[in-house]
């Protein structure tokens, strides 16, 4: 399926103000297009283009609903940020002897894992063995 080419004549343009000499070229083309569209389209096209007027009560109800939805979204975002802050990791700075660090680096390289993974597993095993 190929797309049909789009021509500038298919778009409606806002009419320009009339100059002292009369209608401009754009006004004449727009008027001709509107006349063609009016003969081809029934009057319901103009009725559908206008927006219905809402009552004052309906506008207030919609505004209250929108405000409630926005407040709910703010509350959920705030709770999400709190949960993210709780899930942050705690970092521990541990000085290692050079020989221990070299062994750790070699183990991480040979097993293709990060050093932090090895340290976390070792700390977890130590804590479990000691009842923590």
pLDDT confidence of 121, banded at 50, 70, 90? very high
**pTM for the structure as a whole:** 0.36
Answer whether residue 93 is part of any domain: no
- Concatenated DSSP letters of 54-95: PPHHHHHHHHHHHHHHHHHHHHHHHHHHHHHHHTPPPP----
State pLDDT tens for residues 85-110. Answer: 887 777 888 899 999 999 999 999 99
Please indicate, yes or no, whether residues 63 and 42 belong to a single structural domain of this protein. no
The range of the structural domain enclosing residue 105 comes to 98-129
* Digit-coded pLDDT (tens) for 17-76: 665 556 555 566 666 666 665 555 555 555 556 777 888 888 999 999 999 999 999 999
Number of domains in the chain: 3
Query: Coil, strand, or helix at residue 19?
Result: strand
Q: What is the C-alpha separation between 15 and 127, in angstroms, rounded?
A: 78
Asked whether residue 3 is assigned to any structural domain, the reply reads no
pLDDT for 74:
94
CB 53 within 8 A of CB 44: no
Comparing CA positions, the residue from 125, 68, 116, 126 lying closest to residue 96 is 116
Would residue 1 count as lying in a domain? no
């Amino acid at each position: 399926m190929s797309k049909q080419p789009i021509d500038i004549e298919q778009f409606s343009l806002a009419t320009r103000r009339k100059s002292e000499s009369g209608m401009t070229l754009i006004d004449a083309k727009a008027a001709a297009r509107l006349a063609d569209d009016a003969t081809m389209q029934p009057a319901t096209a103009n009725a559908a283009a206008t927006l219905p007027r809402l009552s004052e009560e309906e506008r207030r109800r919609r505004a209250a609903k929108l405000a409630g939805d926005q407040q709910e979204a703010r509350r959920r975002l705030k709770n999400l940020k709190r949960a993210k802050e709780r899930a942050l990791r705690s970092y521990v700075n541990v000085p290692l002897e050079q020989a221990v660090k070299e062994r750790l680096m070699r183990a991480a390289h040979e097993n293709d894992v990060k050093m932090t993974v090895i340290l976390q597993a070792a700390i977890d095993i130590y804590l479990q063995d000691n009842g923590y």
